[in-house]
């Protein structure tokens, strides 16, 4: 019998999307599934929709819990998961037909602990160029930190469940930062199949599209903690971790300029001080892209908002 795969779907106030997400799992041609829906204190009909599906398919179980965020929701499912493998899906996203079978076959045939796929978002496709690649754990982690063929997203990946022994997601936004690199380093090898199998729905209210705030500063703190940890446990990744942090800093500084009305004075001051402290390093770092450096120049010259408005108007 093929190995059991546990699909973990945290659900919070996504009544418009959750049926599409669940159906995309039920329509997979890999049937040996355990599907755990975690209703994270939804205040709309999302929880009722989860219960509805659980009554229709005995592979589905539902956890109803108070709202604590994406990390604790995933953890509650990991605590009871029985599958040899685990796959995470955000409930406003969905997976494409056949992707679980492809990822599982890659793990088995290539003898890897993690298999990654690319994804679509809108009309764009990400991380799908070239032929399938297999990396040792350190190389895979380096590529993930530098966004070279693999990203830090918890989704778009099939993991051996054993990798999460002793590893859990924190109760905060950007919960993948302190987890993904640890799981990658525990893996024997990591494969990227270079095919898209996941769709990311970009919507207002999701973490990646919310206004700048304390969570964005927390993201940078988590990235700094990762750098400190890697200096001790895997110093060969120091440069890659620094690149990850500098790219995150640029992105968060962009957010602070795009959402100036929403940014508190203290948060704005902190992000400004950090950006200007690292500006010289950003501009002279060989692994920071020309695009990121150009954005940094616009920010320093205080014309970023104007340039962004012009770009949006003509783009």
Q: b vs e for 20-37, b when ≥16 Cβ sit within 10 Å of the residue's Cβ?
A: ebbebbeebebeebbbbb
User: Can you spell out the DSSP letters for 171-215?
Assistant: SSSSTTHHHHHHHHHHSSEEEEEEEEEEE----TTSGGGSPSSHH
In terms of Cα–Cα distance, which of 67, 176, 183, 170 is closest to 114?
Answer: 183
Q: Is the dihedral of CA 204, 144, 22, 35 positive or negative?
A: negative
Is 152 exposed, middle or buried (CB count within 10 Å of its CB: 0-12, 13-18, 19+)?
middle
The stretches of 111-176 forming alpha helices (DSSP H) are 137-145
In the CATH hierarchy, which fold is given to the domain comprising 5-199? Spore Coat Polysaccharide Biosynthesis Protein SpsA; Chain A (3.90.550)
Residue range(s) occupied by CATH 3.90.550.10 in the chain = 5-199
pLDDT of residue 205: 52
Count of CB atoms within 10 A of residue 163's CB? Answer: 19
Per-residue tens of pLDDT for the chain, all 315 residues: 589 999 999 999 999 999 999 999 999 999 999 999 999 999 999 999 999 999 999 999 999 999 999 999 999 999 999 999 999 999 999 999 999 999 999 999 999 999 999 999 999 999 998 999 999 999 999 999 999 989 999 999 999 999 999 999 998 878 788 899 999 999 999 999 999 999 999 865 554 444 556 677 888 999 999 999 999 999 999 999 999 999 999 999 998 887 666 567 788 889 999 999 999 999 999 999 999 999 999 999 999 989 888 888 886
pLDDT of residue 209: 46
pLDDT of residue 267: 83
Taking a C-beta distance cutoff of 8 angstroms, is the pair 169, 177 a contact? no
């Amino acid at each position: 019998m093929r190995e059991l795969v546990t699909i973990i779907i945290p659900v919070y106030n996504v009544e418009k999307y959750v049926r599409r997400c669940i159906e995309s799992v039920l329509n997979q041609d890999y049937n040996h599934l355990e599907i755990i829906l975690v209703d994270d204190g939804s205040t709309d009909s999302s929880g009722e929709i989860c219960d509805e599906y659980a009554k229709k398919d005995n592979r589905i179980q539902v956890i109803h819990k108070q709202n604590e965020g994406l990390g604790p929701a995933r953890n509650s499912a990991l605590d009871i998961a029985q599958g040899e493998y685990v796959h995470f899906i955000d409930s406003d996203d969905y997976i494409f037909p056949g992707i679980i079978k492809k990822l599982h076959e890659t793990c088995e045939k290539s003898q890897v602990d993690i298999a990654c796929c690319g994804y679509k978002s809108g009309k764009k496709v990400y991380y799908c160029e070239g032929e399938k690649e297999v990396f040792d754990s350190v190389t895979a982690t380096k590529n993930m930190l530098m966004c070279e063929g693999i990203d830090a997203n918890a989704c778009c990946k099939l993991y051996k469940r054993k990798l999460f022994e002793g590893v859990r997601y924190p109760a905060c936004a950007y919960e993948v930062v302190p987890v993904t690199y640890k799981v990658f380093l525990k893996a024997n090898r990591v494969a990227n199949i270079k095919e898209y199998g996941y769709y990311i729905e970009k919507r207002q209210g999701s973490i990646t599209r919310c206004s700048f705030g304390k969570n964005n500063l927390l993201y940078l703190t988590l990235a700094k903690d990762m750098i400190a940890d890697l200096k001790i446990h895997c110093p060969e990744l120091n440069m890659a971790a620094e690149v990850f942090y500098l790219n995150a800093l640029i992105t968060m500084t962009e957010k602070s300029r795009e959402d100036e009305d929403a940014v508190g004075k203290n948060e704005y001051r902190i992000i400004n001080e950090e950006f200007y402290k690292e500006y010289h390093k950003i501009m002279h770092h060989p692994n920071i892209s020309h695009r990121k450096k150009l954005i940094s120049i616009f920010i320093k010259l205080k014309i970023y908002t104007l340039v962004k408005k012009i770009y949006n108007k003509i783009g």
